[in-house]
Amino acid sequence: MLDGMESVLLKQGPSMVEACFAEAKGLRDRAGDFAGACPDEWIETAGADPTTLEEFLLHRMDTLETLARKDHWLELASIDSGGQHALDIT
């Protein structure tokens, strides 16, 4: 039996992966809120400003599928081996 994420993915399937990415994309419009919620000390330490932080967050959100390897997780979630991992030899 697999532990952690792999076990959940095999049980829930690709729809779970799609739902998670859709939920993350749905937060894109709130990037400014997230950037504005950072403590001033963090902004000062980083030598940045909230606008720069918001632009960075937007870039990360726009490239999330690549950064988080969505294709990898979809492929893993698509394995159908009767509830067991394809490499399980027990």
Question: Could you list the residue range(s) of the whole structural domain that residue 45 is in?
Answer: 26-79
* 14 part of a folded domain: no
pLDDT, mean over the chain: 84
Q: What whole-number distance in Å separates Cα of residue 71 and Cα of residue 14?
A: 10
pLDDT at 90 over 60: no
* 75 part of a folded domain: yes
* 68 part of a folded domain: yes
In the structure, what pLDDT confidence band is assigned to residue 1 with cuts at 50, 70 and 90?
very low
* 85 part of a folded domain: no
Half-sphere exposure of 53 (CA within 13 A, CB side): 20
Q: How far is CA 1 from CA 9, 72, 79, 80, 85, in A?
A: 13, 20, 14, 14, 8
For the chain, the first-to-last Cα distance in angstroms comes to: 9
